[in-house]
Chains A and B, each alone.
Chain A
Amino acid sequence: RISRSISTVKLPDLPYDYGALEPYISGQIMELHHTKHHAAYVANLNKALEQQAEAEAKGDVSKVITLQGAIKFNGGGHINHDIFWTNLVPPKDFEPPSGELKALIEGQWKSLDNFINIFNAQTAAVQGSGWGWLGYNKGSGRLEITAMPNQDPLSITGLVPLLGVDVWEHAYYLQYKNVRPDYLKAIWNVVNWKNVADRLAAAKK
């Protein structure tokens, strides 16, 4: 019999105040998104992991299997939002992409604007809840734009997540209502390209 301890997952702090991304993302949304939605993923993930550990200790494989949905939903929710907060930066600190990241984007999409248009078109088209992602393909050394449903983490595709845009309605509805494309235009004012570049550099190691 193997026994092990589980570590609990913690809700990370935001690297900025709730209102810091205004006017592009409202302080009300940021606060709800962090303290309610992300916090719930963390709490539910911890609960599911604890139940899984108990089931494992009892040898109850059936129970372990039934918990996988909750682990995927809530674990994915935690992973995705953990990345998302670091992908954003207050508009006063915004800097466009530079160096290798800029070269890769321009090499593949001709210009940053063209990349954004294509990313936004794909991300706006996500049915229901999901995320738009810029990912890094370690095999090909290329960037890829893709979308994931619900809270499925990008990592399950093999791509390394660099930049995620949450298009669950809770991410924008209070401010943009049904007009998801307006949210997608606005968010590029608060994308933390330095963080994206750091993630790319880490992926290439």
Chain B
Amino acid sequence: MAFELPALPYDYGTLEPHVDSQTMLIHHTKHHQAYVNNLNAALDKFPELKDLGLVEINKVVGTDKLPGDVATTIRNNGGGHYNHTFFWKVMTNPSNTNGPSGAVKEAIEAAFGSVDEMKAKFNAAAAGRFGSGWAWLGVKEDGSLAITSTPNQDNPLMASLPDSTPMVPILGLDVWEHAYYLKYQNRRPEYIAAWWNVVNWEQVASNFDAAKTGAVLL
């Protein structure tokens, strides 16, 4: 069973004007599709890895469960496929978004003081990630919320990587230049600020509820 590119939960233009439709189209049909294709090609010779499923494949990055000759390819493309699958779902029509509430809001306030303080920390992680990578809000092993950033297509599920902050992600932002360059060019902080307008807080809450039980939604 090969991995497939998931459909977007909305149209390419739904996130306008914050994330432009041309970026969404290329990001989904070219970049994410390439990660899916490359992952499938790498796993062709290792069907037992394919059976692990996407989340488990990410969790075993950096361990000897991945054969040496495909370890890097699986890190890059298994990471890329999970990250983008996750990403499309934590965004939504800007008119749908109200900010966090309930249990996840309480957890944010407990960890960071306030939603605004959490955003400031998240923005700093996103703007400060040098080169390509992602910023993440996630649930750590002890159940508390934390923010981290990862390089390239790494993610906090990859607990065995050195320097990793193991977490179950509940919110993430792609800061590879392809995620924003057509509309924002070098102005990454402007992209980050605009992106908060399309965050799908309902999905974040679902991710949080699952993470508290140790589960990773996909």
Contacts and interface: CB of A to CB of B under 8 A. Distances in A.
A32 interface: yes
22 contacts: A32-B186, A36-B186, A73-B130, A127-B132, A127-B153, A128-B131, A128-B132, A128-B152, A149-B131, A150-B131, A169-B176, A169-B177, A169-B181, A170-B177, A170-B181, A173-B181, A173-B182, A174-B181, A177-B26, A178-B26, A178-B31, A178-B178
A129 interface: yes
Interface residues of A, number: 20
B182 A150 contact: no
Interface in B126-141: 130-133
Given A129-B177, A169-B178, 13 more contacts: A37-B186, A127-B153, A128-B131, A128-B132, A128-B133, A128-B176, A129-B131, A151-B130, A151-B131, A168-B177, A169-B177, A177-B26, A178-B34
A152 B87 CA distance: 29
Contact of A173 (B34, B76, B130, B177): B177
Interface residues of B, number: 20
Contacts of A187: none
Contacts, number: 54
Contacts of A37: 186
Interface string B141-178: 00000000001110000000000000000000000111
B45 interface: no
Per CB-CB distance, the 4 closest pairs between chain A and chain B, nearest first, are A128-B132, A169-B177, A129-B131, A128-B152
A91 B182 CA distance: 26
